[in-house]
Chains A and B, each alone.
Chain A
Amino acid sequence: MSRAENGRRPRPRTLKVNPVACQGHGMCIELLPELIAADPWGYPLIAPGPVPDELLPLAQRAVNSCPTLALLLTSPE
């Protein structure tokens, strides 16, 4: 159940990389090219700003697929 169904406004969510954990496997770049691009060394570059609502399920899938759990979907404070 999403937060919107609780009657609360969904908080904007953003993608973030833990750069220590990230080893450049590139799963997220393959799975979410809408928001994630590869830098010259194969590490992810994330589009700035909150994740658009329609991409949230795909973003969550990319987060779940990261082999080193380095991709995070966070709510800004």
Chain B
Amino acid sequence: MLSPVSRLLPEIPRLTLDEHLSAYGPPPFADVAYDAAGLAPLIVAVEQSGLVGRGGAGFPAGRKMRAVAEAGRRGGPFHSQVGTVVIANGAESEPGSGKDRLLLRRAPHLVLDGIVLAAEAVGATRAYLCVHDDPAALRDAVTSRERAGLNRVPVQVVEVPGGYVASQETALVGLLNGTGSRPAFVPPRPSERGVRRHPTLVQNVETLANIALIARNGPEWFREAGTPFAPGTTLVTVSGTVARPGVYEVALGTTIAALLDRAGGPVEPPQAVLAGGYFGGWLKLPAAGEVPLTDRALRAAGATLGPGVLIVLPQSSCPLAETARVTGYLASQSAGQCGPCSNGLPALADALGHVAFGRPADDMLRWTHQLLGLVSGRGACHLPDGTAGLVGSALTTFADDLRYHASRGPCGRAARLPVLPLPVPPAPPAPPAPDPRTRPEALA
């Protein structure tokens, strides 16, 4: 087994700025960042490192930085250069994930270094750190950096209201613009037009911590861990029936079995693992143990890496009942903006509820499959796609259970306490903003 790596999660928390600076040294500011001639060296280094975003979508981090830097240089009216904006996304909404919160508690200054370095590289004049909880400690950290002169770009800590889609990147832009914390239709993407119409770089906090390390150690060092196609390390939150649930840092390409070993192995006989969180997919154990933790390998197996989530389901749980409950939660998280999502996800949750807790007739199974196609790709954000992916994965992976339920009704395990975490109570989605075209005062 590979020895555990700890790049992002120091054994001893580096809470104060002094502790951080003595461990990592000062952030290496490149004073050529605003040079109009070319890209900031950090952007080139991040591109060479092969780092992809750690928030779930896995978009190449360097390409996103380049897009924002170039949009800033193309600029506003009359070809003037415009300042860009950086949003650090630490608003962890995935119920099975705890890695962003832990990272911000264990190494806040590594994230803040990444924010300021990335901000300088893309020509940003403002940066925001968006979190769900404990903003006070982070505000103290920002203040201590300002006193030390390390925040060359002003950083503001912003508390984001809960809700599964509130941390989607266009929803964060909407929150900062005051137009509502809901996903928006793209294009324009935030990298073209984001906060107050400025090109905006939205990166997950783990991505930014990696950028802070790449700025110090270079892209070759970054690629020493992981595989050639999936370099680096990643934080994975492991839960379910394992002896030591928690957040683990692993080199990408580590197998699921090796990580589950580190988490103490299963407590009860395992049945399957949900990989990638609630937009991910189910993989049967023990067969899935050999699958390496890279997005490519997990997708080939029928799941995703997502934001780094593994939830181990014991044999004593009904996978259809578990998936049905999560589908109900995801349906409750629709912001109510897009018709196919606000109508289709409750219908899908209802249909899967019949499948898991009733005795589904053939037409109910057909309707469930039909709904997957009816919601996919038809929302402003990926809530309908992700939910359909999860349900589709459950129907395929647990085809035997499906047949049992269809012929005999719910299995005895359906009544067991849930293993997949559900936030209680689900945060009610914010009502949609009134359409400016139909506002009464606009008509008067």
**A residues neighboring B (CB under 8 Å):** 17-24, 39-43, 45, 68
Contact = CB atoms under 8 A, between A and B. Distances in A.
Contact of A19 (B339, B347, B374, B435): B339
Contacts of A40: 343, 347, 374
Contacts of A21: 185
Given A19-B378, A19-B380, A43 B185 contact: no
Given A39-B374, A40-B374, A19 B184 contact: no
Contacts, number: 40
Interface string B339-372: 1110110010000000000000000000000000
A19 B343 contact: no
B337 A20 contact: yes
B344 A19 contact: no
Interface of B: 183-185, 337-341, 343-344, 347, 374, 378-380, 435
A23 B437 CA distance: 14
Nearest to B347: A40
Contacts of A22: 338-339
A47 B380 CA distance: 18
B185 A41 contact: no
Nearest to A41: B343
27 contacts: A18-B185, A18-B380, A19-B185, A19-B337, A19-B338, A19-B339, A19-B340, A19-B341, A19-B380, A20-B337, A20-B338, A20-B380, A21-B185, A24-B339, A39-B374, A40-B343, A40-B347, A40-B374, A41-B339, A41-B340, A42-B339, A43-B339, A43-B340, A43-B343, A43-B378, A45-B374, A68-B435
Contacts of B380: 18-20
Given A19-B380, A43-B343, 14 more contacts: A19-B337, A19-B339, A19-B341, A19-B378, A19-B379, A20-B185, A20-B337, A20-B338, A21-B185, A23-B339, A41-B340, A41-B344, A43-B339, A43-B378
A26 B374 CA distance: 17
A49 B338 CA distance: 22
B70 to A, nearest CB: 15
A45 B343 CA distance: 14
A29 B198 CA distance: 37
Nearest to B379: A19
A18 B340 CA distance: 12
A72 to B, nearest CB: 10
Nearest to A21: B185
Contacts of A68: 435
B340 A39 contact: yes
Contacts of B343: 40-41, 43
A22 B378 CA distance: 11
Contacts of A18: 185, 380
Nearest to B438: A68
A23 B342 CA distance: 12
Contacts of B338: 19-20, 22
Contacts of B379: 19
A45 B183 CA distance: 21
Contacts of B340: 19, 39, 41, 43
B373 to A, nearest CB: 10
A20 B341 CA distance: 10
Q: Can you list the 10 inter-chain pairs with the closest CB atoms, starting with the nearest? A: A19-B338, A41-B343, A43-B339, A18-B185, A20-B337, A20-B185, A20-B380, A24-B339, A43-B340, A19-B380
Nearest to B377: A19
Q: Which of A19, A24, A68 has the most CB of B within 10 A?
A: A19
Contacts of A45: 374
Nearest to B340: A43
A22 B339 CA distance: 8
Contacts of B339: 19, 22-24, 41-43
A40 B340 CA distance: 9
Nearest to A17: B378
Contacts of A42: 339
Q: Which of A23, A39, A45 has the most CB of B within 10 A?
A: A39
Nearest to B378: A19
Q: Which of A23, A40, A42, A45 has the most CB of B within 10 A?
A: A40
A26 B257 CA distance: 51
Q: Which of A17, A20, A43 has the most CB of B within 10 A?
A: A20
B243 to A, nearest CB: 44
A40 B347 CA distance: 11
Nearest to A24: B339
A50 to B, nearest CB: 17
A43 B184 CA distance: 18
Nearest to B343: A41
Contacts of B337: 19-20
A40 B375 CA distance: 11
